[in-house]
Each structure stands twice: as C-alpha cells, then as structure tokens.
Amino acid sequence: MSVPAIDVRGLRYTYPDGTPALRGVDFQLAAGESVALLGANGSGKTTFLLHMAGLLRGDGEVRIGGVTLEEETLSAIRRSVGYVFQDSDDQLFMPTVLEDVAFGPLHRGVDGVESIRRARETLATLGISHLEDRAPYHLSAGEKKRASLAGVLVMNPDVLIFDEPTTFLDPPGQNELARLLMELPQAKLIATHDVYFARKVSGRAVFFAAGRIAGDGPVEVIADRFHWRLS
C-alpha cells in the first residue's frame, strides 16, 4: 500500500484569542488524489489547510508523504507542499512576475540562473510567458491566479493546496483553472464554496462543520447531504 500524500490524525487547533478552529480532524489524501473541502465560512477549512503547510501548528499528528510534521521536518515538508493562497495579492510580492515565480526555487537553494530558467519554463507551461516582465499589480485576476500557480508549480511539489481558488475569477477563468488543475498529477486539496467547480476538479469531498469533518464522500453525495447548493 502506497504512503498517503497527507495523513492527519486528531488535529486540534485553537486561535490565540481562544476561538477553537479545529476540534479533532482525521483525514487522509492518497497520492495523486484530488479532494474538495466544502463548508461554511469559519468552519475550519483554511485553518486546516494552513496546518498542511506547517504555517500553523496545532495538537495532533500531520504526516505529509509519510513524514511527520515537526520543527526538524518543516523545511522538507514545505518543499513538498505547494500552497496557492485565496488572495493572489498576498502571494505575488516581487516586482515582476518572473522574479516572483523564481522566488521559491531561489529560496530553496537553487542558483539564480537555474531558478530563472525554471520560472520561464513554468510560465510557458501555463501559457503566461508574455507576463514575465509585468508587475503583478497590473495583472487581471485570472492572470494573477495563474502567476500564483506558477510560483507554486515551479517548485514541483507533491501536494497542491488551493484556498478558494475561484475567488475573483470570472466563469471562463474558472473553467480555465479547472482545466489546469485536472491536468496536474499532484495530490490536491481544494477549499471551495463552488460545488460545480468542486465536481469538475475532484471526485471526493469532505464537509467541514464547526472544526470537524462532518462528511466525507463523492462530491454530489456530500453536496446533497448538506444542502450545499444554490436553491
């Protein structure tokens, strides 16, 4: 049996102000599998995702690719997890798109020339080579999302995490993003409110409610069970 891409047991987290965000989450994601995280605002989806990249540390066990998340393994785990944030403006902080995409490899010890080469290659793969010298704040929402994705894919992670990836995207942009995601071979965790998007990019969904996983199964079944559709 292959090692799960993500294996979480009894994960609990309480924010410093005393708000409990995760109340004992058990979850597994197989290598190459794609799972949508559904649930209301404040149900714990983003908090859960932040734990997967070691950006928050709660009680319980988180294993990424068989490696337990702890201080000593943090760097290796962040190398294998790519996190695409909800707001692309958080993620694009360098003066040009090319520099931003090269940021990850550069800060993981790859030399400048190779980082730039990899960044250009990734931009070409995503069809946005023409944006490389553009300032991120001049891009459209769709372009920003692609540039953010490039900044993560350039590091060739084993697990991809998307927090509300369709935010700010128009329907063609959402379709394009869904097509891109389906082509990616990595295991994917996608927090979204959009059931249609979830159905497109993943077969399985877990439903978060009050910091717990309240349901786990096929997207359609979960959406019906929790009445998670526009009426």
Partner 1 sequence: MRDRVGKSLRLEEWARRDSFLHRRDARVKVVSVLLFLVAVSSTPPSSPAAFLPMSVLLAFGLLVSGLPVFALLARACVIVPFPLFFGFVSWMENGNAQFAGALVARSYVSALSVLLLVGVTPLPALFGGMRGLGVPAVLVMVLQSLVRYLRVIVDHGSRMRRAALCRDAGVLPRRNRQSLWRRASGAMAVLFGRSYARAEGVHRAMVARGFRGDFVSARPTRITTPDWWYLAVTGLAVLGARYLALVGQ
Site map 129..148 versus partner 1, x via CB under 8 A: ----x-x-x-----------
Q: Which residues pair with 67 in a beta bridge?
A: 64
* Residue 55 binding partner 1, by CB under 8 A: yes
Least separation in angstroms between residue 195's CB and partner 1 is 26
DSSP H or E segment with residue 124: helix 112-125
**Is 37 near partner 1 (CB under 8 A)?**
no
- 206-210 CB contacts, 8 Å cutoff, 24+ apart: 206/27, 206/35, 206/36, 206/37, 206/38, 207/38, 207/39, 208/37, 208/38, 208/39, 208/40, 208/43, 208/44, 208/45, 208/48, 209/39, 209/40, 209/43, 210/23, 210/43, 210/44
CB of 219 to partner 1, least distance (A): 27
The side-by-side arrangement of strands in the sheet containing 20-29 is 20-29, 6-14, 59-64, 67-68
Q: Which of 123, 155, 180, 181 binds partner 1 (CB under 8 A)?
A: 155
Q: Considering only 13-21, 25-33, 93-101, 184-192, which stretch makes contact with partner 1 by CB under 8 A?
A: 93-101
Q: Which stretch binds partner 1 (CB under 8 A): 62-70, 86-94, 122-130, 173-181?
A: 86-94
| Contact footprint for partner 1 (CB under 8 A) | 50, 53, 55, 75, 78-79, 81, 83, 85, 87, 89-91, 93-96, 99, 102-104, 106-108, 112, 115-116, 133, 135, 137, 151-152, 155
